[in-house]
Structure 1
Amino acid sequence: MLPPTASVADALAKYEAAFQGSTEAGRYACAPLPPYLEGEEPNEEEEESSRPLYDLCFHLLKLYSDRHYSLQQLLDPLTVTWNRLDYRLSWHLWGVLQALNYSHLSSSRQGLLHTSYASQLESAGLWHLSVFILLHIPDHSQRERAVRQVLTQHCSLQETDQSVLRERFLTDQLLVPERWIHEAKATRAQRDGDRHQQALHLYRAGHWNRCH
């Protein structure tokens, strides 16, 4: 319907008018629904109450056409999956967009991406990988607080092969200070009433006075 010299933005605008019904011919194209909604008739009441859901590829085309297009809509998990708590693709896509110099996402939305994906990994038993995600939080104080919370919740006093490997991954690969791990273990020992372990880990963390 457009000449070969037309831009992607021109074609996208033509298609958008076609599925929204803002043309003389009315609505004559299917809306770019996410895969899990394909084949379903749009509910007019739902469309009026909330913004319509579009497929991720459509949002990427919009971003290509307009560099300042909303990244909040694009990174919404509902553009890909019915599970609104599944942030796997959203988090990795945000990393790709940052590499392409797209950075107009608010700090609060960035924080939501990081913490949501980290919580998803944590609930799957992969808490050491959730630390990797949280290390991408831009703000230093928020990043340290989030990582320390995960360590306090999951660092065990009992050394097993798995715990040793995970702690080595944290210190060797992610460069998490070993002191943080011992501080987390000291907190756990205090909660359990184990004074010996508490003193031991406070000593290893370098807190001499509290250890004494």
Structure 2
Amino acid sequence: MIQLQGVEHTYDGRGGRIRALDTTDLTVEPGEFVSIVGASGCGKTTLLRIVAGFVRASGGTVRVEGEPGFVFQRPSLYPWLSVAGNVEFGLKMRKVPRAERKATARRYLDLVGLGDFAEAAPYELSGGMQQRCQIARVLATEPSTVLMDEPFGALDALTREKLQAELSRLAAGRTVLFVTHSVDEAVLLSSRVLVMSPRPGRIVLDLPIDADRDRTRTSPAVLAAVEKVRAAVTST
């Protein structure tokens, strides 16, 4: 579970104090996939980083059960390690036995379609493959909660669509908080979509997505949800 109560954030900018995040209450239940959309600068990433513990909230309380895994906008792979070495890294820090962590890394690399690239260097992978490696590295530690900050934003459209489909499969059963600029992506992936207002960010729409049996880009339920989310984004 992720629970925010009265969370807000203000910081010192060049022109004085800036209120980035207005008072926010949010509960994400175990197993939910919740996406956050909104205009640039609305506080989406700030909220996500507060949940991750990277940023200290100015007020309110944050409760996160377990240790979340974080997937950044761009792959943050270690260039001196192989692809498999990158996936094993978190397990090694936890002192998981060598044979176990190698087997775990192999399993997750196979899941994301990188089994044949285990010994490759990160620079030998395409952007999409590097992002899949980052996702495998996070999932290999088996976090119950995954935080994702626009992980597909820098990818071409075809690679992005492929990874969206893979993420739906890989994230099954996990709690996911996902930041994106793409309304279509948010609706396709999520059980709920949150829309945030321009700064100071606050949640202006919390929309459940009831399209599990017909989750395609052209299905009526998806199109209707996309229209509602877009209207909320453009009206704020």
Report the TM-score range of the alignment, normalised by the length of the smaller protein: 0.3 to 0.5
Q: TM-score, normalised by structure 1?
A: 0.32
Structure richer in helix, relative to its length: 1
Question: Structure 2-normalised TM-score?
Answer: 0.30
Structure whose alpha-carbon radius of gyration is higher: 1
Structure number having the greater strand percentage: 2
